[in-house]
Homo-oligomer: A and B are copies of this chain.
Amino acid sequence: MRKSPLILVIEDEEDLLELIEYHLLKEGYEVEGFLSVKNVEPFLAEEEADLMIVDRNLPGTEGSEFVASLRAKGIDIPVIFLSAKDQERDIETGFLRGGDDYMTKPFNMNELLLRIKALLKRTKNDLFSDRLIYKDIVLDLKRREVFIEGKEISLTRLEFDLLYTFIKNRNVVLSREYLLEQVWDTDAEHQEKTVNVAIKRLKEKIDPKKEKRYIEAIRGVGYKLC
């Protein structure tokens, strides 16, 4: 695993790209540069980047559209946008998300480095507040992502909420009644059998080979995670 953060830089002006890469490397970051959007996504399929620096004025795609398309696919990396002075106004109109930042060209390299540092720190702190870990299961609450032994698996809303409830109450036996209250709509009435099936489906996803037995049925009482 990586010791220092990996930063992607997507910038079509080759000189500027090299300048940024140089400074980032000097700061001890790992850097991967791209002259266009083309090869970024395949790269991300292989490597987990910590931050992207994206020029908004790329040939072909708009930088912000590219980022939006990544987000639609669940790739959620904080971004620092580089934009021309005259685009400054657009910035405020929505495409910037909570974790993001931007700078207008021409910019001061020191300021960029400072912002990178700040952004990385911020996202790192976010991880602390939002991740729930049980054995080799990691739940990212904000992103609603689940990793088991480091590999991501996809859960439905119900399954995620169910697993979340179990991890929050690890080792405690939860009755079907309680689970229905916590996980299902409070107003809708459901049979307790419904819980059985939901748990069966969850088990199937988090432990398809039935090796781990994370969730156990406690006959006559309910279920528990142990």
Q: Which residues does A use to contact B, with CB under 8 Å?
A: 1-3, 19, 92, 98, 101, 106-111, 113-115, 117-118, 122, 124, 126-129, 131-135, 138, 142-144, 156-158, 170-173, 211-212, 218-221, 224, 226
Give the residues in chain B near A19, CB-CB below 8 Å. 3
Number of copies: 2
Having A101-B135, A118-B134, A158-B220, one finds 10 other A-B pairs with CB under 8 Å, namely A1-B106, A92-B211, A98-B171, A114-B127, A114-B131, A117-B128, A126-B171, A129-B172, A143-B171, A144-B224
- A113 CA to B170 CA, complexed, in Å: 20
Among candidates B111, B122, B128, B142, residue contacting A114 with C-beta atoms closer than 8 Å:
B128
Known contacts A142-B173, A143-B224, A172-B143; is-contact A156 B219 (Cβ 8 Å): yes
